[in-house]
Amino acid sequence: MNEAFREVVVGRHNALVDPSLRIWGWEIPVYLFLGGLTAGILVVSALLALRRPPGSAPSRAVQAAPFVALGLLSLGMLALFLDLEHQSHVFRFYLAFKPASPMSWGSWILILVYPVGVLLGLGSLDAGIRSALLASRPVRWLRLAGPLRCLSGRADAMARSVAWVAMVAGAGLGVYTGVLLGTLAAEPLWNSPVLGPLFLASGVSTGAAFLLLLPLSRDERHLVAGSDLVAIAVEAGLLAALLIGFASGSGPDQAALDHLVTGPQASAFWTLVVLAGLAAPFALEVLERRRGLAFLKVTPVLVLAGGFALRWILVAAGQASSLATIF
């Protein structure tokens, strides 16, 4: 029986490109996750600072959160650095600003986030911790007590402005992690304007989940859990919009979508991202609020795992369905 067929013989065998694109390994999803997590912690910390009644001190955990976020971001940047093929040229990122390149925006946003995070953190510290910090050995040794005292004063004087700037910088960082992939037309599975907002929503939900794992005050927990719930709902809506966008797209879009929802990544996507990462924590959080159930640590752990799985799976599936290996 004769059937129509199409056979393609390709004489190109470049490492990292053939037979399917694998330029970005574990480093990039780890960085995207930690960048989103940092963005989320900054956004939720800023929200807490804006909602805090005047004169009340935040919990120890919330005071530490902006500094922890910067530590996590540094780990993410380390992963990014490890991914570079020409690591000794890393300084080149900061000798240029290319407005058309999301990665160029990202490298400058990363630098901007540090001072904003430090200001937000200094402004959140209570008097006891602040004086202990100023008297600590590293600060004295580095002769930083004077500048830190000055910065703390500024952060106090402009507390609301700092919180708003931190929210904008966090949102910029969160959106950028998605835009980085979303502007790449050669990977149909990434090429969507929804990816930026999706990664921001996912970042906010993981940031809130991270804070929920820390010992928060009752009021803080209520606000953070509420933010988490809203972020999960928005993320689910954006994920649906992303999938519907691909389903109504052209042939390559639909082939890429199949890769995610029915193909090699489908089982991981539906179980880890949709069920365990979105549906289960959403249901648990609603139950906790409505029925006054005891807080379960498993809920934020599920959100964090789901956020990581989303990035891991999208990075892998996007490369596997790249136009670069469709002939």
Partner 1 sequence: MRRTKRYAMVVDTWSCVACKACVLACKAENAVPDGFCRDWLVEVTEGTFPDLRQENRSERCNHCSDPPCVHACPTGASHVAEGGVVLVTHGKCTGCKACIAACPYGARYVHPDGHVDKCTFCLHRVQAGRDPACVEVCPTGTLTFGDLNDPGSEVSRLLRTRAYKVLHPESGCEPNVYFLTGRPAPAVASDSAGTGVVGVAR
Question: For the chain, how far is it from start to end, CA to CA, in angstroms?
Answer: 26
Q: Does 324 bind partner 1 (CB under 8 A)?
A: yes
Residues sharing a CB contact under 8 Å with residue 17, sequence separation 6 or more, in sequence order: 23, 324, 325
CB atoms closer than 10 angstroms to residue 186: 14
> Measured from the CB atom, is 84 or 157 closer to partner 1?
84
One character per residue 68-87, x = contact with partner 1 (rule: CB under 8 A) = ---------------xxxxx
Query: 109 vs 232, which CB is nearer to partner 1?
Result: 109
Residue 23 interacts with partner 1 (CB under 8 A)? yes
Which residue from 6, 218, 291, 297 is in contact with partner 1, where contact means CB under 8 A? Answer: 6
Q: Is 90 in the site for partner 1 (CB under 8 A)?
A: yes
> Does 248 sit near partner 1 (CB under 8 A)?
no
Give me the helices (H) in 52-126, please.
60-83, 102-124
**Please, what is the minimum distance in Å from the beta carbon of residue 118 to partner 1?**
25
Give CA separation, 285 vs 42, 65, 204, 206, 282, in Å.
Answer: 22, 22, 15, 14, 5
Q: Which of 54, 95, 292, 297 binds partner 1 (CB under 8 A)?
A: 95
Task: Name residue, tokens 């912690």.
Answer: 41
C-beta of 92 vs 289, nearer to partner 1: 92
Query: From the CA atom positions of the chain, what is the Rg in Å?
Result: 22
Examine residue 234 and tell whether it contacts partner 1 (CB under 8 A): no
Answer for the pair 306, 269: CB distance below 8 angstroms, yes or no. Answer: no
What residues make contact with partner 1 under the rule CB under 8 A? 2-18, 21, 23-24, 83-87, 89-90, 92-93, 95-96, 98, 100-104, 106-107, 180, 183-187, 250, 252, 319, 322-327
